[in-house]
Chain A
């Protein structure tokens, strides 16, 4: 067996510490006992995926490019972390006025329907645990699996396939528009969390999904796949507020047919280590992708965010805006990828990322990659990196605002333009107050670096 650094890693604070290989063996044992159609992923596929996980190198770019630790090192120091967010759930059906609340916890899936859901289900909305799919839904699942997230190319997506223990499928039928958000909450009370989510919007369907990633499991690894039919519109929100000792590896992807729109809003707040990959493939002409994302690391937190937009058809548009900040000895990396295929003429891509450093010990790498294979396209990339602007600070101080308050106000303002575009007021409030609390608790919010 190749010495996969993470695979050898012992997870902290479990009552019984297990390596990932032991966890995998346990998964295979328990899945063997259940019978179809109760499975999420066939055992043969799990075995292939785990092999793939072990074979693929740790993603992390070249050593020495500011990536101070590889994932193995981070794993070893994980037990030493201990400040910041609790990882407790903050969103529920009532606060969000959600049509349905789907909880994925400890390998179980539970759906709390609202009064509205009956109506929607009668009109063709389908929400089900992957272990309880109807035959036709299972066919659709098998057809869709692995399309939006190409797990064979990514170490942790492969691991998520190998270990998937709770799964949900949501299908919104053609033409259905659901104004209320659908809430998916995954947080384990145990130490492990391996969710898989499939979202299908048929032609002309519209929906908003809010995914709250809470709890404080030691290790989480999952996949969200989205398939949008022609003219479908999806708002997909990720509010990641996992506990400070958690390691989390999430791969999310969408494929968009002609004139479909996928809008991602991604907030990476919690976790000791969070690797988050969001991929959008614009397969049909006129499709568009928007992504607003941010992360803010403190203590020894480490966030690794990758966004990719693949313009695979002509006249497709994308806008990506990411704001990242770090304080104390927080770290982060943002990889922003844009690809425009040779035949994707008339496409238009914008990538903008801003980095704010709030202490001397903080570190963020921001690495854009634009791969433009067509001439007849528009592509823009803009980036800033810096600390709190002295003129802004003096201006606020001259209004009587004490320096620490002014620094926190300006730092909070840094995120606001992105949060303002998140589609749900309750989510915006939650994230703004979580950021304010985190800025309030940070040892350093410094302007003179």
Chain B
């Protein structure tokens, strides 16, 4: 068999600081192609820092460690090149870009990540299918990106972008926060639709969440618990149930006594 890079998205001993404060204190995390990993933890544990650091936000300084995508060193790449390498981040608080229509933004994103691979007709078909999955009106396409959007609309647009970019690996940062049940189901359906499609069958997911409820819609292969910038526990989907029952404090006490 021909030697090839392992198909994983991986952080190794990742240390990250923001404005001089160390937030991540050595993260090891592996997302295999086609797998779903859940990263849970209380507010302030460093989950979003991990997401931003992996995507290349300039305010997050990498002090040590590595992030690779199918063997490629992501930390050497600018944010746009990371996206072109196959990484997608669904933002917890996506920025509004007034004056840029959703349609133009999606076209630019698709063109950047998968240049010239879809005819305009096929691109339109992709969009219409996804609008349907997300229960969105086509009028959405002519609105300005996230400008005046409700929380639910913002998350739906993130999911629309997920489908359009068809990444190798997707980080969903608190995509469930602030969503009602319908919006949550739409997000779940959207991820499910991508995973069933040819383009997304091999997509690996890192689902960052505070609450376990999104994991009823997107069932993880593994669950990782982050506390104070470290992953303190990893296990099967049942670990999410433990968190729901006992909360993070029990784990914190356990981690303290073990440490």
Name A's B-contacting residues (CB within 8 A): 389-392, 394-403, 405-406, 409-410, 412-417
Q: How far is the CB of A212 from chain B (nearest CB, A)?
A: 24
Does A395 lie within 8 Å of B95, measured CB to CB? Answer: yes
- 30 examples of A-B residue contacts, CB within 8 angstroms: A392-B95, A392-B96, A394-B79, A394-B95, A395-B97, A396-B97, A397-B78, A397-B80, A398-B56, A398-B82, A398-B89, A399-B80, A399-B83, A399-B161, A399-B165, A400-B80, A400-B84, A400-B113, A400-B165, A403-B80, A405-B112, A409-B104, A409-B105, A409-B108, A410-B97, A412-B100, A414-B98, A415-B99, A416-B144, A417-B98
* Alpha-carbon distance A239/B79, docked complex (angstroms): 38
Q: How far is the CB of B116 from chain A (nearest CB, A)?
A: 14
User: Which of B80, B101, B161 has its CB near the most chain A CB atoms (within 10 A)?
Assistant: B80
- Chain A residue numbers with a CB within 8 Å of B94 are 395
Q: CB-CB contacts of B32-71 with A at 8 A, as 1s and 0s?
A: 0000000000000000000000011110000000000000
Q: CB-CB contacts of B9-23 with A at 8 A, as 1s and 0s?
A: 000000000000000
User: Which of A389, A390, A401, A402 has its CB near the most chain B CB atoms (within 10 A)?
Assistant: A401
Does A413 lie within 8 Å of B83, measured CB to CB? Answer: no
Does B109 lie within 8 Å of A399, measured CB to CB? Answer: yes
- Chain A residue numbers with a CB within 8 Å of B112 are 399-402, 405
Question: Which residue of chain B has its CB nearest to the CB of A413?
Answer: B99
- Chain A residue numbers with a CB within 8 Å of B56 are 397-398
Q: How far is the CB of B94 from chain A (nearest CB, A)?
A: 6
Interface size, B (range): 20 to 34
Question: Which residue of chain A has its CB nearest to the CB of B89?
Answer: A398
Number of A-B contacts (CB under 8 A): 85
The SS class assigned to the A binding surface is helix
Does A389 lie within 8 Å of B108, measured CB to CB? Answer: no
Q: Does B211 belong to the interface (CB within 8 Å)?
A: no
Name B's A-contacting residues (CB within 8 A): 55-58, 78-80, 82-84, 88-89, 91, 94-101, 104-105, 108-109, 112-113, 144, 161, 165
User: Which of B84, B96, B104, B108 has its CB near the most chain A CB atoms (within 10 A)?
Assistant: B108
- Chain A residue numbers with a CB within 8 Å of B161 are 399
* Alpha-carbon distance A416/B109, docked complex (angstroms): 19
Given contacts A394-B58, A413-B144, contact A400 B99 (CB under 8 A): no
Question: Which residue of chain A has its CB nearest to the CB of B114?
Answer: A400
Contact of B108 among A394, A395, A405, A416 (CB under 8 A): A405
- Chain B residue numbers with a CB within 8 Å of A389 are 95
Contact of A398 among B55, B98, B99, B101 (CB under 8 A): B55
Does B99 lie within 8 Å of A399, measured CB to CB? Answer: no
- Chain A residue numbers with a CB within 8 Å of B101 are 416
Q: How far is the CB of B224 from chain A (nearest CB, A)?
A: 23
Contact of A394 among B57, B100, B144 (CB under 8 A): B57
- Chain A residue numbers with a CB within 8 Å of B55 are 398
Q: How far is the CB of B151 from chain A (nearest CB, A)?
A: 16
- Chain B residue numbers with a CB within 8 Å of A397 are 56, 78-80, 83
Q: How far is the CB of A353 from chain B (nearest CB, A)?
A: 15
Does A399 lie within 8 Å of B97, measured CB to CB? Answer: no
- Chain B residue numbers with a CB within 8 Å of A403 are 78, 80
- Chain A residue numbers with a CB within 8 Å of B165 are 399-400
Q: A397-B79, A416-B99 are in contact. List 14 more A-B contacts (CB 8 A).
A: A392-B96, A392-B97, A394-B79, A396-B105, A397-B80, A398-B91, A399-B112, A400-B112, A401-B112, A410-B100, A412-B99, A413-B97, A414-B99, A417-B99
- Chain B residue numbers with a CB within 8 Å of A412 are 99-100
- Chain B residue numbers with a CB within 8 Å of A396 are 97, 105, 108
Does A391 lie within 8 Å of B95, measured CB to CB? Answer: yes
* Alpha-carbon distance A193/B112, docked complex (angstroms): 46
Does A416 lie within 8 Å of B57, measured CB to CB? Answer: no
Does B91 lie within 8 Å of A395, measured CB to CB? Answer: yes
- Chain B residue numbers with a CB within 8 Å of A415 are 99
5 pairs of A and B residues whose beta carbons are closest in the complex = A413-B99, A416-B99, A400-B112, A400-B83, A413-B100
